[in-house]
Amino acid sequence: MKPCAVLFLVAVLTTSSAVRGASMAARSECDPWALRPCAPVILWSAPPSSKCCAKLREQRRCLCRYARNPDLGKYINSQNSKEVAAACRVRVPMC
């Protein structure tokens, strides 16, 4: 993937976590930026690290919210993301 796509993903993750209209508690629970250890895995099919898997488990309950986000959905719904979830043994919720 091109460097501009990586920068776009980082910008989307930063913007999405900053502009969510949820309460402060909900923002700390659902933070797409927390999934940044998984970015190389999702973007380049690298093997998931233990940190990526741990963050994915922590953010599992938020995945539907991310999938519905027009900026994040294409990453969350990608085949690579599904493979990451499978490799990390994280059950993806039905949205």
Domain spans in the chain, listed from the N-terminal domain onward: 3-87
Q: Shortest CA distance to 34 belongs to which of 4, 65, 3? A: 65
CB-based contacts of 70, cutoff 8 Å, min separation 6: none
3-87: CATH class: mainly alpha
Does residue 22 or residue 36 have the better pLDDT?
36
Q: What percent of the chain has pLDDT over 90?
A: 44
d(CA 40, CA 48): 8
pLDDT of residue 75: 87
pTM, to two decimals: 0.66
pLDDT of residue 36: 93
Q: H-helix or E-strand containing 3?
A: helix 3-19
The pairs formed by 65-73 with CB atoms below 8 angstroms and a separation of 24 or more are 65/30, 66/16, 66/30, 66/32, 67/95, 68/95, 69/16, 69/32, 71/12, 71/15, 71/16, 72/12, 72/13, 72/16, 72/32
